[in-house]
Chain A
Amino acid sequence: MDALSLAVNTGFQALVLGMIYAALALGYNMVYRASKAINLAEPELVVFAAYIAFIAFSWYGLPVPVSFLASLAAGFLIGVVLERLLARPLRGRPVVALMAATLGAYYVLRGVSMVASRGFEMGSLGIPEVYQAVGPLRVSLSDVVAAGLSSATILAVIMLHRFTRLGVAMRAVSEDPFGATAYGLPVRRLTMLSWGIAGAVSAAAALALAVKAQVGPTLDFYALKALAASLLAGLDSIAGVVVGGLALGFIEQFGSLLLDPYMPGLGSQLAFIAMLIVLLVKPYGIFGTERIERV
């Protein structure tokens, strides 16, 4: 492979991976805006959602689209349950309490997915291995599915927040739950819905990830890296999530390309190094909302 096609292909892979990271980061972002806490259960939720699709597809023989839908529904449901069981009782308490509770949920989900998968380690989601060459670029069907799924998810959430009353009401609740209650907004229902959508978004990202990599218990590491992307961008900005995810994809792909010959595995750790540097310089992230203060 010559240098040009290497660069083009790495760039394309960075783009695909970046969109997946962005979708994963969006899951954290939505929970953060609803409850001001980081959902530490998300990495395992991702693994769980991927397994659901895998089990539906390869053990029960359901068609691929149906198994994907089952996974999205499971993600939504888990989000709703987490809100009802953890976030709602802990409302008004320090956010650390909720974060610790989600960490507990992480281990519960981990146990469940280990039992449910019967120790099954790896599997694929039934997307055929088809390649198409476009100039120097090699595009596989799984690339297209993964990128399409994650960008469609992000786009759907943006449209919901910008153009529907429901989405605008969700934003109002996330800005000021007290004021929203005073004006009669169904705060509890909308918060629950935010968690549910966050769960479905995580599941969609998990599917994209599983298509690109493989279903397996180590998918949670990707979600952890996406948390870095989310913090990098500022937890409460959707545009920031996309930029953060893409930045992470590029840093990682080109970092691996350049650094791995000297220090194998360093590339995949670059996300955390980048996060540390950004948080030192800008604690609210690059795109974090600055509260409007009229002077």
Chain B
Amino acid sequence: MPPAPLLDVNNIEVIYHPYILVLKGISIRVERNTITAVLGPNGAGKTTLLKAVSGLVRLERGRVTKGSIMFDGERIDTREPEEVSRRGIVYVAEGRRIFRELTVEENIEAVAYAWNTDDTDIVYKYFPRLKAKRKIRAGYLSGGEQQMLAIGLALLAKPKLLLLDEPSLGLAPRAVSELYQNITQLYREEKLTILLAEQNARKALEIADYGYILENGRIVLEGPAEKLREDKDVKEFYLGGARREKGGYRTVKWYRRKKRWV
């Protein structure tokens, strides 16, 4: 029998407010020491899935109404977000959510307080660019640097599971490449386990081991990353690789193929 995965999301439903169903029966598994990607268009439910895992849906008046989330052998979907993060799940939100009014150094101090650690150099080790800017208020950093800081802060927690929500969002292509190099490097050296939500499927599948494709709150496709990279549908809808003749019969088929997923 294979060992239990680090994270086992079992057929969950998430409802926001009293009645907006966002996730409709989702199951994913994240094995230790892997990068698992969750791909899909805007509004598919990627962010909600990550917030459900970290318990943060509760702060936005959402809740997990069906199924269960197991982490390291323990059930966590019934716990408060503060307890979940105590167990080593750290969520790096989309939109570079750092403390903008604080300096880079103060951002690090604040999170270091939470984890009672003095090893603050780990942030500068992976993101040396931040060192020169440590007295600058984080709101004035460039987009790429803000994302570096956001991920760097998570490292202070020595996370068992790192949830990255659209790290490439709103960054220039060069910044995205640099950031992905950083992520790969610290994944290898810190032996992290990462659950990555992305719209940028090409980038995500480059570094991921396994992938799920989410549409409208359901998983429509899953598989090892190299399989997904070769998959005809994924290529067409997410990687923009497959050529398509304009109009006519192909469009109809394209529509039907799209329907099959939903």
Contacts and interface: CB of A to CB of B under 8 A. Distances in A.
Contacts of B102: 168, 171-172, 175
Contacts of A176: 97, 99
B112 interface: yes
B140 A292 contact: yes
- Please indicate which of the listed interface residues B81, B82, B143 has the most CB atoms of chain A within 10 Å of its own CB: B82
A182 B114 contact: no
B9 interface: no
A190 to B, nearest CB: 9
A184 B90 contact: yes
B106 A175 contact: no
B82 A188 contact: yes
A118 interface: no
Nearest to A161: B106
B140 A182 contact: no
A191 to B, nearest CB: 12
Nearest to B154: A183
Given A181-B85, A182-B90, A182-B91, A166 B113 contact: yes
A187 B93 contact: no
Interface string B208-220: 0000000000000
A182 B151 CA distance: 12
Contacts of B139: 292, 294
A168 B86 CA distance: 20
Nearest to B61: A92
Contact of B111 (A178, A185, A294): A185
Contact of A178 (B59, B107, B137): B59
B64 to A, nearest CB: 17
Contacts of A185: 110-111, 113-114
B153 interface: yes
B86 A184 contact: yes
Given A168-B109, A169-B110, A292-B101, A182 B56 contact: yes
> What is the interface residue range for chain B against chain A?
35 or more
A183 B90 contact: yes
Given A179-B98, A181-B59, A172 B110 contact: yes
A179 B109 contact: no
A186 interface: yes
Interface string A260-295: 000000000000000000000000000001011010
A186 B109 contact: no
A165 B108 CA distance: 10
Interface string B25-36: 000000000000
A34 B42 CA distance: 33
B115 interface: yes
B183 to A, nearest CB: 18
Nearest to A184: B85
Contacts of B202: none
Given A171-B101, A175-B101, A182-B93, A165 B112 contact: yes
B147 interface: no
Contacts of B93: 178-179, 182
B16 to A, nearest CB: 13
A187 B111 CA distance: 11
B197 to A, nearest CB: 14
B52 interface: no
B191 to A, nearest CB: 19
Interface in A164-222: 165-166, 168-169, 171-172, 175-188
B54 interface: yes
B137 A175 contact: no
Contacts of A181: 56, 59, 81-82, 85
A168 B137 CA distance: 13
A92 B60 CA distance: 8
Nearest to A182: B91
Contact of A182 (B54, B61, B86, B113): B54
B201 interface: no
A181 B157 CA distance: 12
A168 B112 CA distance: 10
Contacts of A294: 139-140, 143
Contact of A168 (B85, B110, B153, B157): B110
Interface of A: 92, 165-166, 168-169, 171-172, 175-188, 289, 291-292, 294
15 contacts: A92-B61, A168-B110, A169-B114, A172-B107, A179-B97, A181-B82, A182-B90, A182-B93, A183-B110, A183-B114, A183-B157, A184-B82, A184-B86, A184-B114, A291-B100
Given A92-B61, A171-B99, A294-B140, 5 more contacts: A178-B93, A179-B93, A179-B97, A183-B90, A292-B140
